[in-house]
């Protein structure tokens, strides 16, 4: 009989493990989209609850659809306006270079080259060569760029659909996970609350830092006389949300612009402003804002953000602190169990924290 039970258990868990592995292989290509959707749904869940109350008969499907569309509009409309403004500025630059601007740029490059020659005699800068290389690179990689664009559109589509279902069926998902979990319901609720709080803290802290960096960038550009500083502040705010890009997306071209103009004082001033006033915000204020709601130390948050990006890629800036939060709450529950000898008791909490 014991032998039969052992074979039964081995067979059952073998089938379970195989099914889980195959399921992971099926879902893994969409993991990024699902992770983004879960984060958006968690952060926006209180907003969804408010909309749900306004729906006829509190229809969850309508509330989820309305919330998803509103969040989409909040993201798409500003980005569309920003893209239009960038296109307008790019076209103005093209017009400038097509007329007398090219001569001015070439004169500036020649001036810089002569200055650098005094320090590095072998230095040369052939703008035509670099432009030709850039054109050749673009022609060679146009297929990859198109594929990446298509992949991004598909990523957004899957994430949008998943956000809708997470809003509509999120509570049922949490209830199912709680049901199959071997932990007491109170501990499961405590874990979910900690994870939701951590996600919201990281996302809202990141958005706050992006806005502050955008404002400081606009102020710096206005001080040093760059046109449309508000536009470039908005671009910097969006860029700061992209790991590895940040505010460099506007500061590098601005510094190059001043160098070509021969405005070396403004160039140096902008470098200092970007490094100190803007750059330090990301490293000092960012971890502090992210750690406040999650009750984690800012240094640990900074380390998990950097390490998370190294391990998970761009998604790591959220997955890192969330993993830290999960570890912290599990250690807290373990400590409470060790002291009392019983499962930790926590008040029941809802998904919206």
pLDDT in tens, 63-105: 999 999 999 888 887 777 777 776 776 666 666 656 655 565 5
What average pLDDT is seen over the chain? 79
Rounded Cα distance, 102 and 89, in Å:
16
Cβ neighbours, 10 Å, residue 272: 11
For the entire predicted model, the pTM comes to 0.73
295 — alpha (psi -120 to 50), left (phi > 0) or beta? left
Q: How far is CA 155 from CA 30, 31, 34, 37, 42, in A?
A: 8, 10, 9, 10, 19
Residue located via tokens 């509009």 = 73
Q: In this structure, is residue 289 part of a structural domain?
A: yes
Residue 316 counted as domain residue: yes
67 domain-assigned: no
Is 124 strand, coil or helix? coil
Contact, 329 vs 194, CB < 8 A? yes
Quick one: pLDDT band at residue 348, thresholds 50, 70, 90? very low
Report yes or no on 308 lying in a domain.
yes
- Which residue bears the tokens 């950097």? 306
**10 falls within a domain:** no
In a domain, 255, yes or no: yes
Compare 180 and 104 and report the one with higher pLDDT.
Answer: 180
**Position 209 in a domain:** yes
Which pLDDT does position 242 carry in this prediction? 76
pLDDT at 48: 93
CA distance 304 to 286: 13
**Residue 319 falls within a domain, yes or no?**
yes
Domain count across the chain = 1
Report residue 19 as tokens: 């099914």
- Does the pLDDT of residue 349 top 50, yes or no? no
How far is the C-alpha of 215 from the C-alpha of 207, rounded, in Å? 12
**Which residues neighbour 309 within 8 Å (Cβ) at sequence distance 6 or greater?**
243, 244, 316, 317, 320
Tokens read off for 236: 């910097």
Confidence band of 347 (pLDDT split at 50, 70, 90): very low
Residue 299: give the domain boundaries. Answer: 183-353
Average pLDDT estimate for 163-174: 92
């Amino acid at each position: 009989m014991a032998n039969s039970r052992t074979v039964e258990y081995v067979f059952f868990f073998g089938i379970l493990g195989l099914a889980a592995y195959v399921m992971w292989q099926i879902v893994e290509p969409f993991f990024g989209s699902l992770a983004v959707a879960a984060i958006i749904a968690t952060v926006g869940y209180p907003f969804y609850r408010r909309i749900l109350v306004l729906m006829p008969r509190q229809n969850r499907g309508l509330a989820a659809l309305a919330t998803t569309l509103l969040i989409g509009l909040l993201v798409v409309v500003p980005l569309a306006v920003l893209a239009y403004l960038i296109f307008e500025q790019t076209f103005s630059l093209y017009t400038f270079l097509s007329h007398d601007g090219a001569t001015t740029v070439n004169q500036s490059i020649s001036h810089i080259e002569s200055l650098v020659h005094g320090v590095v005699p072998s230095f040369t800068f052939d703008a035509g060569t670099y432009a030709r290389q850039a054109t050749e690179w673009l022609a060679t990689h146009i297929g990859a760029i198109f594929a990446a664009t298509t992949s991004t559109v598909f990523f957004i589509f899957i994430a949008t659909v998943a956000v809708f279902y997470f809003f509509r069926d999120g509570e049922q998902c949490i209830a199912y996970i709680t049901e199959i979990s071997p932990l007491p319901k109170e501990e499961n609720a405590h874990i979910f609350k900690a994870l939701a709080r951590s996600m919201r803290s990281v996302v809202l802290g990141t958005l706050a830092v992006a806005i502050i960096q955008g404002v400081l960038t606009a102020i710096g550009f206005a001080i040093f006389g760059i046109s449309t500083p508000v536009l470039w502040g908005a671009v910097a705010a969006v860029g700061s949300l992209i790991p590895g890009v940040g505010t460099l997306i506007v500061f590098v071209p601005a510094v190059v612009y001043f160098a070509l103009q021969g405005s070396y004082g403004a160039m140096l001033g902008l470098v200092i402003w970007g490094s100190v006033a803007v750059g330090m915000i990301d490293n000092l204020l960012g971890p502090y804002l992210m750690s406040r709601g999650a009750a984690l130390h800012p240094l640990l948050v900074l380390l998990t953000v950097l390490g998370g990006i190294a391990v998970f890629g761009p998604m790591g800036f959220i997955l890192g602190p969330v993993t830290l939060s999960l570890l912290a709450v599990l250690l807290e529950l373990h400590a409470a169990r060790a002291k009392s000898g019983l499962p930790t008791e926590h008040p029941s909490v809802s998904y919206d924290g």
